[in-house]
Amino acid sequence: MVPAKLVACPICETDIDADKTKCTVCGIPRSLIELDQSIETVSTDEVESVINDLNKDIFTLDDEEIWALTRKLGAITNSTSDASTILDEVIFECPLCGTEVGEHDSKCPGCGVVFEGDDEDAPARREEYEALFMQAKEEFIKIKDIPISPTILSDLLKESMTARIEGDYTKAIDRCQEVINVCKKMGVFKDNVNRSKVLLNDIRKLGGNYKAHLIALVDAKEMIERGDIEESISVTEKVLGELDVIYQFETSFHEVKKDIKRFNNMSISIPFRDLISGALVARNSGDHEEGIKVVNEIVEMVSRLDVQLDKIRQGKEYISQLRKKKREYKSHMDELVSAKKMLEKGKIDLAENQLDRVMKSIQEKL
């Protein structure tokens, strides 16, 4: 059996088997042990390429692409190092990406992670950053269909990524949190717009006026595209609140109109004329809160009319019993007819008093 070829490690002088990828003692990669290996220089075009890549929306890249970018950026920043100098200094691998690291390097030339010596909080802050970055990515996915000024999120993301590469996790975490906050605000805007669209469609079906609020939503969309997030949210919240009032008016008005048709068939329409007119005036002027008050008055009137009409029906049944018993009933019938005419003229209070009196008198005869 032919023994494996041994190569002496230039750092610790340990003999390394040919099939090993790194020194078993100091960890130096075999690629740097081979003397004919050299560090590849990076051209200006490659530098510009990486910068352009970083200007992209970072959330459109997957984890492997992000990792490759950070490693490439790290390699660019160290591309002028002399190969023999690196060979003399390398003593270990980066614990994150495995890139060879010099003894005096303050950060990894591959992934850009900064070596912070004995700072025990560094791993925890790095984990916090990675968790926040994933949360930012999730929040962005929720609102990615909203057009927005490209500088808002991209600037924050580039600052976060740059700070992460430089090892400034405090700044990286802050910028990530800002991205999350912006995305959440845009989520509020999106929710307001979606809810407003539903109300607009319902109001349109009910015949209500909605055009002014539709225009306001278009204006809010232009605001969000310019990056005026706070103002756009304020506009959509106002629109949503007003549409909710309009919807309440239209739905209740639609219901009372059906009740009014029922009373029209019984020739009882006069009591509603002024109220219906008042509701329409409020609707056309845009004062839907006043319109709701008028509609509530109509609902109350409908309820009172129903009660009085029930008394008239019950009274007729009592009179039928009086006839069978051959007792006087004609005066009571006249009073019922008179009360109905009062209702037709809108004199509900007078009709109510008369019907109460008639019902009591009929019941005494029974």
CB 43 within 8 A of CB 121: no
How confident is the prediction along the chain (366 residues), in pLDDT tens digits per residue?
A: 445 566 665 444 667 776 776 656 545 455 444 432 333 344 445 444 544 554 444 455 554 454 455 545 444 444 433 333 433 444 556 656 677 776 556 677 777 666 554 455 667 888 888 888 888 878 877 877 777 655 677 778 778 877 877 778 888 899 889 989 988 998 999 999 999 999 999 999 999 988 999 999 999 988 988 888 999 999 999 999 999 999 999 999 999 888 888 777 666 767 788 888 899 999 999 999 999 999 999 999 889 999 999 999 999 999 999 888 888 888 989 999 999 989 888 888 999 999 999 999 988 887
Number of H helices, E strands in the chain: 13, 4
pTM summary value: 0.61
> Is the distance from CB of 136 to CB of 187 less than 8 angstroms?
no
Tokens of 328: 């006087």
Amino acid at 307: V
Record the tokens describing residue 145, joined without a space: 């269909």
Long-range CB pairs of 133-136 (<8 Å, 24+ gap) are 133/160, 133/176, 135/176, 135/180, 136/59, 136/176, 136/179, 136/180, 136/183
Closest by CA to 37, choosing from 83, 105, 74, is 83
**Unique residue bearing structure tokens 């405090």:** 170
The vertex-313 CA angle with 312 and 318, nearest 5°, equals 90
Q: Are strands 15-17 and 6-8 parallel, antiparallel or unpaired?
A: antiparallel
Distances from the Cα of 26 to the Cα of 13, 22, 191, angstroms: 10, 8, 57
Contact (CB, 8 A) for 49 and 86: no
Q: Determine the Cα–Cα distance for residues 283 and 272; give it in Å rounded to an integer.
A: 16
Separation of alpha carbons 9 and 310, rounded Å: 107
- 8 bridge partner residues: 15
pLDDT at 11: 42
